Structure 1
Amino acid sequence: MEYIKEITEAEFINRPNRFNALVKINGKEEIVHVPNTGRCKEILIPGTKILLRKEDNPTRKTKYDLICAYKGDKLINIDSQIPNKVVMEALINKKVGKLIEYNSILKEKTFGKSRFDFKLEKETGEEYYLEVKGVTLENNGYASFPDAPTDRGRKHLLELVKVKEEGKGAGVLFLIQMEGIKEFTSNDENDPAFGEALRYAKENGVDIFVYSCIVSEKEITLNKEVKLSI
């Protein structure tokens, strides 16, 4: 998907809180919004080249969203609103092999006590619930999730098992918001409970999809499957 709004280069200075960052744009310091509540400490380092998306809402306190950052020569998208849009585009264009027969794509649908990102249906009425998780944590070509403990993410996985028990399809898609990834795993050191739930979900028939993205200063699109090691 192409970025519709204006994209501007800037330099990251610091992040006073999880919602905002201080950046330098054309030599001037300015506060911008960070659309990602994760830590991103290994990405948002003082002096890092970043990309800002200009927002035109007059009621906003900030003019820009910080959507991407360079880690060496690797461009990483950190906008937490992007993964669902990328996956929606991929589902419409039949890029997720196992899900190409699902023609109805509904967003934000509830099953049990959880709301999942997508509910898919075949013409036969067969249902499939899909949760999407954006991944920004990377080390030497190896990506992992989460970068901060997520009890909500763990509960999503357990609820997907219940979906399977009801005879419906269920899966979680980890969208790695960068290129050049060799392998993906759960971040057991950071959140062992999530890793345990992910393995439990896989053992009980929940599909685990992992895809990297092609990321440029103009767009981000789903690229190819990445090896899963959990």
Structure 2
Amino acid sequence: MEFEAPLVKGRLIKRYKRFLADVELEGSGEVITAHCANSGSMMGLTGEGIAVWLSNSNNPKRKLAYSWELLQVDGAMVGINTSRPNGLVEEALKAGAIPELSGFENLRREVKYGTNSRIDILLEGLEGKRVYVEVKNVTLSREAGLAEFPDAVTARGAKHLDEMGKVVEEGDRAAMVYLIQRDDCDRLSLASDIDPKYAKCFEEARAKGVEVYALCCKITPERIEVTGQARVEI
């Protein structure tokens, strides 16, 4: 995935109210407020002064013209915009990055299922079964090379795991795909200490047959590219 237009570099002043970030733009020194499309805690990623990259919308109806896309911390590039992973995973599936999820005839996004939920990606035509694919963005790393999910308590995530288990019980397939949007990790684990309930729901879903995959990314200010599968250590 290439960014639609060149990103604007800046320096983070602070993130607040979850969805807002004040940034000093490089060169001009202008301080702007950018939209932060990430509902997680972004643990370890919001230190004052870190380098960040923003996209700039030309939509005059937007309240905030800038969106926070990337950051750099301890030498690692990290993608924090949670509106990007579904498209990245779609690209990866079409390219055959996960062989177990290849060979589908049709791919649809944001399909209603379960109890007032929407599945991120629905694959159809795989051995006569549908595959419900739930995508999660992963940015937390507390150990070199190891990415962890989640970075905050996520009741919504636990609900999704429960519904994915029901999908399998009803005869279809279900797969969790964790997109590691940082370029210094090639392994994935659960942050059970942060959200024990999510970890318990994960174990129950996996026991029912929910499949689990993780993908690595290469990230630059020009593009984000899925480079292959990460090892799942769960």
Q: TM-score range, shorter-chain basis?
A: over 0.9
Structure 1 gap segments, 5+ residues each: none
Residues 18, 34 of structure 1: 8 Å contact kept: yes
Aligned residues between the structures: 230
Does residue 184 (structure 1) correspond to residue 188 (structure 2)? The answer is yes
Q: Tell me the distance in 2 between the aligned counterparts of 1:124 and 1:208.
A: 19
Give the counterpart letter for 1:11 in structure 2.
R
Give runs of aligned pairs for residues 22-171 of structure 1, distance below 5 A. 22-25=22-25, 26-113=28-115, 114-122=117-125, 125-139=128-142, 140-171=144-175
Structure 2 gap segments, 5+ residues each: none
Give the counterpart letter for 1:195 in structure 2.
A
Q: Tell me the distance in 2 between the aligned counterparts of 1:165 and 1:123.
A: 17
Q: Tell me the distance in 2 between the aligned counterparts of 1:165 and 1:111.
A: 14
1:106-129 deviation line (CA, Å, top 9, x unaligned)? 111122213211111117542111
Aligned partner of 2:229 in structure 1 is 225
1:187-214 deviation line (CA, Å, top 9, x unaligned)? 1111000011111111211100011111
* TM-score between both structures, scaled by the size of structure 2: 0.94
Q: Tell me the distance in 2 between the aligned counterparts of 1:35 and 1:97.
A: 30
Does residue 7 (structure 1) correspond to residue 11 (structure 2)? The answer is no
Change (3 A) 1:77 1:167: same
Residues 211, 225 of structure 1: 8 Å contact kept: yes
1:78-127 deviation line (CA, Å, top 9, x unaligned)? 00001001011112222221011112101111222132111111175421
Residues 107, 118 of structure 1: 8 Å contact kept: yes
Q: Tell me the distance in 2 between the aligned counterparts of 1:156 and 1:17.
A: 25
Q: Tell me the distance in 2 between the aligned counterparts of 1:7 and 1:134.
A: 21
Residues 186, 216 of structure 2: 8 Å contact kept: no
Q: Tell me the distance in 2 between the aligned counterparts of 1:109 and 1:208.
A: 20
Q: Tell me the distance in 2 between the aligned counterparts of 1:70 and 1:76.
A: 6
1:119-161 deviation line (CA, Å, top 9, x unaligned)? 1111754211110000011122211111111111111111111
Q: CA RMSD in A?
A: 1.3
* TM-score between both structures, scaled by the size of structure 1: 0.96
Aligned partner of 1:211 in structure 2 is 215
Deviates further, 87-96 or 142-151: 87-96
SS at match of 2:16: coil
Residues 97, 229 of structure 2: 8 Å contact kept: no
Residues 5, 55 of structure 1: 8 Å contact kept: no
SS at match of 2:77: strand
Residues 31, 62 of structure 1: 8 Å contact kept: yes
Q: Tell me the distance in 1 between the aligned counterparts of 2:92 and 2:181.
A: 14
Q: Would you identify which runs of 4 or more consecutive aligned residues in structure 1 move more than 4 Å?
A: none
Aligned partner of 1:194 in structure 2 is 198
* 2:178 corresponds to which of 166, 174, 177: 174
SS at match of 2:5: coil
Give the counterpart letter for 1:176 in structure 2.
I
Q: Tell me the distance in 2 between the aligned counterparts of 1:41 and 1:163.
A: 32
